[in-house]
Amino acid sequence: MTTYSKDDLTGWEFKIVRSSAKIRGEKFQQLCQEEAENGWELVKKFDDYRVRFKRPVERRQQDGYSEIDPYRTQFGASEAKIVVLVLGITFAFVAIIAFLAIAFS
């Protein structure tokens, strides 16, 4: 775990952005670019699912002009959206199988 001194923290705010899917290559570059537009700087990429950023506290004054939520902590589709998508596909598949079973019986 990264440790910080009081001087390291003074004047900075931190956040961790998570993703349900791997953040690599172009997606990682896209995430860093979008966060940079709000003043966030890359601190550490923990793994392909979690990235830490920091920015000067003074940047809060410009948050009203941002096109994306400067405090977002989720990148890409949320876990809830993925669950709904999987359930929808499963339901459609079961409905088609049931329809075919009834139609050909």
What does the alpha-carbon distance between residue 103 and residue 95 come to, in Å, rounded to a whole number?
Answer: 12
Residues 44 and 11 in one domain: yes
At 3, is the pLDDT very low, low, confident or very high (cuts 50, 70, 90)? confident
Q: How confident is the model at residue 105 (pLDDT cuts 50, 70, 90)?
A: confident
Q: The pTM is what?
A: 0.74
Residues 81 and 93 in one domain: yes
Own/partner contacts of 22-30, CB < 8 Å, gap of 24 or more, are 22/48, 22/49, 23/48, 23/49, 23/51, 23/75, 23/76, 24/48, 27/75, 27/76
- Same domain membership, residue 101 and residue 62: no
Domain ranges, residue 82: 77-105
User: What are the pLDDT digits (tens) for 30-54?
Assistant: 999 999 999 999 999 999 999 999 9
Q: To 10 degrees, the CA torsion angle through 83, 84, 90, 94?
A: 150
What is the chain's mean pLDDT, rounded?
92
Residues 83 and 70 in one domain: no
- State whether 87 and 60 are in the same domain: no
pLDDT digits (tens, 9 = 90+) for 50-97: 999 999 999 999 999 999 999 999 998 777 777 888 899 999 999 999
